[in-house]
Amino acid sequence: MAMSISGEPILDGRYQLEKRLGQGGMGVVYKARHIFLKTAHAIKIILPDLVGNDPNLVTRFRQEALAAAAIRHQNIIAVTDFGVVRGTMPFLVMEFVQGKSLQDIMAEEGAMSPVRAFELMQPICAGIAAAHRQGIVHRDLKPLNVMICDELPVAEAVKILDFGLAKIKSGELLGSFIAAQTTGLMGSPFYMAPEQWSDEPPDARADVYSLGVMLFQMLCGEVPFKGSSIPSIMKKHLTSDVPSFASKGIEVPPQIEAVVRHALEKEAHHRTPSADEFAKELREAMSLASARLKRTADSAAIDPSKTIVGPAPAHETVPPTGTTTAFDPNAGTISAASLDEEAQKTLFAQRELAREAAAKKKLAAEDEQKRQTEEQKKQQEEAAREKERKQLEEIVAAQTKVRDHRRRQFDRKRCANFPASRRRADSKKEVSTPNRFGDRVGCAGRRWCWRLLHFERTQAFAGWPNEAARRFKGCSDQG
């Protein structure tokens, strides 16, 4: 099975298998994509070992898949397609949802409060009741078959899985499946009603029993009947009384415990008759009581979410009852026409995938070309900015040079205007002359030096009349 699927990723010429999500006792679940519609799906492929040469396989499987697809409810995973590959490999196509299973949530939260359990149980009951109105019984309800979608209100987030495999699991659909496996036990023994352990055909009340077990587990943190082997679990379901919540260290209002016990009655005619009635009783109990739970019991020794396949008994296999079909030596064989048709569908799907790959490649090339164009444009803009910056620098340098030249000319002209008597040296003979402090200076330095000497001399002569007047006054005072 794994080799055939891995070697042939296109299923039925329409679905491309992308990755494996999980495997159970019935088959393998893949995440797939519709090649033409580009939509995501979850595909459950029944193991070929469970399917033999059944001439009515396609007809029976189609009837069951159509019945499951007829259930339209927000709390049930929709079955969108089905098929049988090469006459031996049935598969169901379902909507793909992202989220966690109820089993994972219970493992994280442990024993829940009555309000939390009621919040989750209401949409579960609504989905089961919708299926029962269509005449379909799930037969394998368990927390692992309930998904809680992300980022949705709880009333819409709850999704029930595996309705399309109800009769397959019970052994009423595939005749060869019965001969191969269902002479033993196949199911989830922790959640199976007592009548499912016998030859009696289960009805809607079997699902109600499973709902009661799930509610008990939500409130208590463990299933009511545990055991180390399948016979011990079966014996407890058939003969043992339902343990009280107090014996598990849990405080639950008696009204809610009464609802659980009513759903877990051994005799089907004493049990809650329908999922709608179960939800109604739970609502009434919640309106009458509230409680605070405290979990003290230990966890279960066996994983209650695991589907267990027991060994077949050693006695002779009993053929299935119901529709009788004469033995056909050609049953299960594949005709050349069907092979050609399947080959054509596969070829068409491969062409579509090739076209899609070419479109993706073309789109990637366009994106790369666009990126290169933008990068080239960016480089050109940077080069233009760099060129403009250099031009500005050259202009500034030229203007600075002209300004410095004009300043030097102005300084020389100013120096030439000083009287010759004030010059200490001929500027034509020396490039620079020493000032009064012994430093050598140029034209600008000489100019400032002459100005300093002129200032000092002016101040000296400016103070002379005062001094002469003082002396003259002193002389006159003495005289």
> According to the model, what pLDDT value does residue 55 have?
61
Q: Report which of residues 390 and 449 the model is more confident about.
A: 390
User: pLDDT value at position 308?
Assistant: 47
- Is 140 assigned a catalytic role? yes
Q: How far is CA 184 from CA 138, 164, 228, 275, in A?
A: 20, 22, 18, 29
User: Comparing 330 with 287, which gets the higher pLDDT?
Assistant: 287
Q: What percent of the chain has pLDDT over 70?
A: 66
pLDDT at 150: 86
Q: Report CA torsion sign: 133, 136, 139, 142.
A: negative
Using the predicted structure, report yes or no on whether residue 339 has a pLDDT greater than 70.
no
Q: Label residue 263 by pLDDT band (50, 70, 90).
A: very high
For residue range 91-137, list pLDDT tens digits in order.
889 989 888 999 999 999 999 999 999 999 999 999 999 999 988 88
Q: Whole-prediction pTM value?
A: 0.60
Token representation of residue 294? 């405290």
Assign domain 2-315 to its CATH architecture: Orthogonal Bundle (1.10)
Structure confidence by residue, pLDDT tens digits, 272-286:
999 999 999 999 999
State percent of the chain over pLDDT 90.
Answer: 32
3-state class (DSSP) for residue 41? strand
Mean pLDDT is highest, among 59-68, 309-318, 322-331, for: 59-68
DSSP string, 317-342: PPPPPSS-----TTTT---HHHHHHH
Looking at residue 178, what is its pLDDT? 34
| Average pLDDT value for the chain | 75
pLDDT at 88 over 80: no
pLDDT at residue number 254: 92
Are 80 and 63 a contacting pair, CB within 8 Å? no
Query: At residue 421, what is the residue type?
Result: S
The reported pLDDT for the residue numbered 352 is 77
Strands 440-441 and 433-434: antiparallel
| Strand order, beta sheet including 99-101 | 99-101, 146-149, 158-160
Q: Could you tell me where the beta strands, DSSP code E, fall in 86-213?
A: 89-95, 99-101, 146-149, 158-160, 186-187
- pLDDT-derived band at 417, boundaries 50, 70, 90: low
pLDDT at 320: 37
Q: Which residue has the higher pLDDT, 329 or 200?
A: 200
Q: Is the pLDDT of residue 6 over 50?
A: no
Kindly report, residue by residue over 245-259, the tens digit of the pLDDT: 999 999 999 999 999
Q: How far apart, in Å, are the Cα atoms of 144 and each of 214, 275, 304?
A: 11, 19, 9
Residue 437: the pLDDT is 47
**Structure tokens of 330?**
């050609």
Domain ranges of the chain: 2-315, 433-478
* pLDDT recorded at residue 69: 82
- Which of 140, 162, 207, 276 is an active site residue? 140
- CA distances to 17, 149, 180, 351 from 40, rounded to whole Å, are 10, 15, 33, 20
